[in-house]
């Protein structure tokens, strides 16, 4: 997977000097350790290849750590957003449950009142029937 982020290399001044010398002269440059850096397609010493590979591995590890850190930051941000959304949904559920309980109590009160009114009506109807019979 390729990253769109710029790649940053960190070289010591002596490494930069060696690289520039290789490109400018086209001839092998001897490093303080005695190994040769290779211009163009000349075969490099084992030490130089190991050194370059070590530098490459360090840069690769640094980029990997950076990607891992960014991924963790993104996941943390996502978790925070989901936690807020979850809390909002819990609040809405609590409000809806409360409104349901209030509506249920009102329904029960109205049903009781309806039964009482039906009983009163029935009593009044009996009184009227008794008055018509007289």
> Is 8 contained in some domain?
no
Same domain, 40 and 52: no
Parent domain of 19: 13-44
Statement: the pTM of the whole predicted model exceeds 0.75: no
pLDDT for 11: 72
Do 60 and 39 share a structural domain? no
Which of 9 and 94 is assigned the larger pLDDT? Answer: 94
- 52-76 pLDDT, tens per residue? 999 999 999 999 999 999 999 999 9
The mean pLDDT value for 101-129 works out to 96
Q: For the chain, what's the residue count? A: 134
Longest dimension (CA), the chain: 137
Query: pLDDT tens-digit profile of 19-39?
Result: 677 666 555 545 455 544 455
Q: Give the pLDDT confidence score for residue 29 in this predicted structure.
A: 46
């Amino acid at each position: 997977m390729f990253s769109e982020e710029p790649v940053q290399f960190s070289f010591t001044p002596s490494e930069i000097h060696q690289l520039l010398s290789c490109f400018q002269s086209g001839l092998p440059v001897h490093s303080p350790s005695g190994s040769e850096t290779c211009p163009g397609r000349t075969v490099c010493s084992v030490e130089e290849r190991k050194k370059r590979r070590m530098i490459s591995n360090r840069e690769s590890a640094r980029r990997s750590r950076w990607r891992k850190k960014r991924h963790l930051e993104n996941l943390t941000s996502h978790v925070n957003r989901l936690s807020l959304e979850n809390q909002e949904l819990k609040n809405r559920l609590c409000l809806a449950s409360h409104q349901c309980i209030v509506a249920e109590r009102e329904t029960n009160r109205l049903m009781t009142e309806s039964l009482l009114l039906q009983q009163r009506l029935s009593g009044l109807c009996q009184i009227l029937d008794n008055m018509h019979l007289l």
